[in-house]
Amino acid sequence: MNMRYPHKTYILDDGNRPELAKASVKWGCEYIARCERSNAKAGNLNHALQLTQGEFIAIFDADFVPQSDFLEKTLGYFGDQKVAFIQTPHNYYNVDSFQFRIKKEKEKSWNEQDIFYRLMMPCRDYWNSTFFAGTAAVFWKKALDDIGGFATGTITEDLHTTMLLYKRGWKGIYHNEILSNGLAAKDLKNYHIQKLRWAEGNISLLFNNNPLFTRGLSFSQRICFFAIIFGWLIGFPKLIYFITPPIMILTGSYPIAPFDISFIWRYVMFLAVIIFGFKFACRGYGRVRYDECYNMMNFFILIKAAFRNLFRLKSSFVVTKKGLHEAIGMYDIIPQALLCLICFAGVAWGGFKLSYGISADFLGIGTAIFWSIINGFLALFVMESVTRPHYKRKDFRFIGGFPVQYSIRIDPEFATSAVTGKVVIRRDSGGEWFGSVIGLGVGKDINEHGISLITFTPLPFDKKVSLSLYLDQKVLQCKATILYMQHSNTLHGKMFVYGAKFEGLSEHDIDLINMYCFNTILPRFRYQFSKKPSLFLTMSSKFWKRVQFRRDIRKKITLPLIINATGYSPLTVVTNDISIAGLSFISYFLLESGVILDMEVFTPFGTLNAKGIVKHVREIMTGHSYFVQVKFIQAPECSEDILSNITGKKLKQNHIQRETDAKV
């Protein structure tokens, strides 16, 4: 509904739920239901095609949220009359899912599907072989009418529909920019349901519509689509790789003879080429260790999908649940548990044979023990990661810093013990004295239900706190109840992290929070945690461009920051990092390089007042978010002490020009 380009929004409800029909009227969108549920998702889409008149159709699964500029950035491709659809990358915002690996300190993230959507799909686009991925895509209705609508009789209607379009001479485009965000499966059970459906549907093309032999595809399209199918058969070779080392030890049989040093050094060279070749080809999106863990997690499901196709077992479309995390039992990890048992049994038996002289083949058994340990720990890691209680909240909180002003009524005795913040003592209508602590803190994460609040002042539990959330240009006034506190060792333990639950938010307030989360926090998070060049490439580039190396290491810390500059509106933001020489932050409007800023940084040690000059500005989102780097040019002596406490470094003499008397 919030996409800017003129459009109509339809909810296609296979469940035919009256409450959803009523809600759609309130939201201002259309509602289409059907009585029967034949052909699952494809049937639902085809039914809606008959009842709508739009020239172009954008499709989103119910858990996907498009950005406001989605249509503006995709519809232009249809200037080519042969383009049938535009596909955009899938991106998942619940980064607490086990499909993600997040390193907050290094601002690095890894997602299982990054290689596919950010690297492989653009490559397929070069050969006109990109395909519809089920959601986050736009179709020309004329092209769908040409093939009779979305493909039915299959559980992967997306790939089958793409092949039908290509065979009729249509083109597909891949726009390699994240323009929407969805929910990843939260537990192994639903993740495997999704994986099994994809694998079964893709492998079924070998028997129903084999791209190598079907008519109408180009040679490059045949190769690309066959590669898609072939990739889902990786479960068989992975099982062989996982189980061969312990079998070698337990049986004494070697698949290669002679298994000597001549073979070993060739094998080591081959392995090195494979690993470094993978690192080079994946352009920073792949991680060998993580990818192998997911091969360990999925090999049995992929083998199951292949056998279901081989024996022609009937498949059904099962919707992937994206709700609360479901508990995982031993039944769900039986293949990994058995493999782990076999691997460590092989390690024990191999060690026994070498220790007691049963075998003198130190080279062969030692190599097999090494790989058995690697595979065994891979299986252990998978079992631990999927059974760990990851998900404590039903709804994911978006990670990102923003300023929050808070005010809470407390006892006068407690108020006098506050570390920082403005303390006000008042008398109520009954004549009793009470205290109020007013301060500026940081929102660590947020969703429509609650917030993690960082303060420099201890606050009491089970108290209502008045909050002012600085959501870029808008300020949301609301109330919340403090439920718990997390201990923080940041800045000598002088920062307090509180969990608060919102109270009495209106629908307008909820919409404002959600819009801020998806349109501001999420793109900024992707920018900060996006793929970064290696240290070697960064240093080489700076040396080649004669860029001056930064002498002062900036500390990653989020602190409230108020900025005033001549010709600009006051700006309330948070720092991204800070050093003795400068700081950086993200602004919601453009600041020109060379602008002088008056800055107030609120810290546990007091307020740091300083002047700075804007040295560098980088656009994150067009007309919306800008990464700004500032160099300190003037600060009073007391502020230098505060800066030293934050960074942990002493300032050199005249490192920042100090404010002096009237001579200055």
Q: Is 343 helix (H, G, I), strand (E, B) or coil?
A: helix
Peptide bond preceding 604 in cis form (omega within 30 of 0): no
Token pair of 1 as six digits: 């509904």
Cα distance between residue 2 and residue 511, in whole Å: 11
* CA distances in angstroms from 127 to 22, 80, 282, listed in the order given: 46, 17, 18
Q: Is 79 helix (H, G, I), strand (E, B) or coil?
A: helix
Instruction: Return the closest-CA partner of residue 241 out of 334, 361, 368.
Output: 368
Backbone angles phi, psi at 598, to 5 degrees: -95, 120
Q: Which of 13, 14, 291, 598 is catalytic?
A: 14
Which residue has tokens 């052909």?
39
The one-letter code for the residue type at 201 is: G
447 Cβ contact list (under 8 Å, min separation 6) = 395, 396, 397, 398, 513, 517
Q: Is 636 helix (H, G, I), strand (E, B) or coil?
A: coil
Q: Which residues are 476's β-sheet partners?
A: 469
Instruction: Please check whether residue 31 is in contact with residue 11, taking contact to mean a CB–CB distance below 8 angstroms.
Output: yes
10 Å CB burial of residue 628 (0-12, 13-18, 19+) is buried
User: Is residue 584 within a helix (H) or strand (E), and if so which, with residue range?
Assistant: strand 582-587
Active site residue 14: yes
Token pair of 655 as six digits: 């490192």
Instruction: Return the closest-CA partner of residue 144 out of 124, 155, 129, 158.
Output: 158
Handedness of CA 569, 574, 576, 579 (dihedral sign): positive
Q: What angle do CA 557, 561, 566 make, to 5 degrees?
A: 140
Instruction: Return the closest-CA partner of residue 470 out of 569, 387, 543.
Output: 569
3-state secondary structure 495-554: CEEEEEEEECCCHHHHHHHHHHHHHHHHHHHHHHCCCCCCHHHHHHHHHHCCCCCCCCCC
Q: Which of 125, 158, 187, 332 is catalytic?
A: 158
Token pair of 593 as six digits: 């390089």
Instruction: Return the closest-CA partner of residue 235 out of 321, 287, 297.
Output: 297
Q: Which residues are 495's β-sheet partners?
A: none
Active site residue 63: no
Q: Which residues are 437's β-sheet partners?
A: 408, 423
Q: What angle do CA 248, 253, 256 make, to 5 degrees?
A: 90
Neighbours of 424 (CB within 10 A): 13
Cα distance between residue 195 and residue 182, in whole Å: 16
Backbone angles phi, psi at 265, to 5 degrees: -70, -30
Cα distance between residue 203 and residue 228, in whole Å: 9
The strands making up 171-174's β-sheet, listed across from edge to edge, are 56-59, 137-140, 83-87, 171-174
* Strand stretches in 159-210, DSSP E: 171-174, 180-181
Which residue has tokens 């429509």?
448
Cα distance between residue 308 and residue 589, in whole Å: 55
Instruction: Please check whether residue 217 is in contact with residue 226, taking contact to mean a CB–CB distance below 8 angstroms.
Output: no
Which positions are catalytic? 14, 158
